[in-house]
Amino acid sequence: MTTMTEASVREFKMPDVGEGLTEAEILKWYVKAGDTVTDGQVVCEVETAKAAVELPIPYDGVVRELRFPEGTTVDVGTAIIAVDVAGPETPAEAPEGLAVSEAPEKKPEGRQPVLVGYGVAASSTKRRPRKGPEVPVQQASVAIQTELNGHGPAAASPAAPAPASPATTVQSRPLAKPPVRKLAKDLGVDLTTVIPSGPDGIITREDVHAAAAPAEAPAPEPVVTQAPVTAAAAPTASYDAARETRVPVKGVRKATAAAMVGSAFTAPHVTEFVTVDVTRTLKLVEELKQDKDLQGLRVNPLLLIAKALLVAIRRNPDINASWDEANQEIVLKHYVNLGIAAATPRGLIVPNIKDAHTKTLPQLAESLGELVATAKEGRTSPAAMQGGTVTITNVGVFGVDTGTPILPPGEAAILAVGAIKLQPWVHKGKVKPRQVTTLALSFDHRLVDGELGSKVLADVAAILEQPKKLITWA
């Protein structure tokens, strides 16, 4: 009876709604215990590190339990709702075959066909296993690293004697990128003793520094162990709720912080500036607003700036590339996925227009309008924020002249556009009031030399000063 009851309950697990995501926050439940649900019905809305997504249930039944309240961050692969499944399959099964038939039903935890990207691979993991107080430090480190690499706990192999398991694990090659290996070598850190915190058991620079810190401290081990406890307690004691507010870092803000830190300390940034007269571009914008082919579409200076950048990339294609650290290669992209940085209530996101280089001006205007509207509504999908090659950030809407933008990870260039202001400008030998803006181009100096970056920025400026170059250069 108990077995059959358990067999009629199915658990819906937090899916991987985007490639490589490891957790999501439950924003809102649309159902409660006792509600009837049908296949494809949306049961909740979750916020990942990239976007807010609605999750449909992949079967019919009655909600038995909501495992987590709203506002809880849940790991991918964790059951979030239990549903009593109504169907003839459970009573029809013979008692002898019940255990056999149930085993394959509960066992698979792979991706389901109902949801895109549902489930996680069995070998992947996000959380770092906890170390038991009774396990020696070296043995715990080895066991944790083995499990994170997808090989399971060391004790799972009964054929090998107990002392042989850590020895075997130590001989396996730790997962780390070449720069991290060099850092470990410089600091004298043995990577086999480092506990990884990166995805799929990859050792990061922070892990190496953390492993090197105790070795550099001359104090005995008990003192090192107590020091963090005292340091952690200090901020708590001095925290004044009436004068300070502490906001948990999660969702889009957490992802943005990790991406910006990773980019700023990985890619050597160079930023160049140019101030340009865009009076003719603004006149062209007003003329295009009256064009029947652009009626109902979003026509603004950003549209022509985007088109100018696409033309500049066509003239200087090497700017549209990325750096492959693992393989020590420069990847030249023969397509342009144009990213547009957007400020949303949930934080900064950078959705991109796929194959923007193939679009006509009306098509580009339509794509820009849809991108901005979707971002403001908080409905940008994770797929829309993946695969960007070059980005534009329009800081001018906030009234500032320009900035030094940080590259989105995996991109070689980002163009910042400042506010357009009426300024005195020498035009045809006379000082006249003209519409002027400042552009800033940040690029990855590993693969973009000063000459290439300067050519791209100069081309964009030339087009905005003389928009007819959109025709002659295109």
Strands (E), 375-457: 390-394, 413-417, 421-427, 430-444
3-state helix, strand, coil in the chain (%, to 5): 40, 20, 40
CA of residue 186 relative to chain centroid, distance? 30
Amino acid at 205: R
List Cβ neighbours of 54 (8 Å cut-off, separation of 6 or more). Answer: 42, 44, 45
- At 316, list the tokens: 């200087």
Contact 14, 77 (CB under 8 A): yes
Residue whose token pair is 């509207």: 373
445 in catalytic set = yes
Please name which of 406, 285, 420 lies closest in space to residue 341, comparing C-alpha atoms. Answer: 406
Neighbouring C-alpha atoms within 13 Å toward the C-beta of 112: 22
Helices (H), 8-94: 89-92
Span between the terminal Cα atoms of the chain, in Å: 73
Query: What is the enclosing helix (H) or strand (E) of 455?
Result: helix 450-465
C-alpha 26/C-alpha 46 separation (Å) is 4
DSSP 8-state code for residue 203: B
CA dist 408 → 352, 353, 357, 443, 460 (Å): 12, 15, 19, 10, 20
CA dist 58 → 3, 69, 109, 382, 414 (Å): 23, 21, 14, 20, 41
**Catalytic entry in 151, 209, 269, 445:** 445
309: burial class by Cβ within 10 Å (0-12, 13-18, 19+)?
buried
Strands (E), 208-358: 269-277, 321-324, 329-332, 338-340, 342-344, 347-349, 352-353
Known catalytic residues are 445
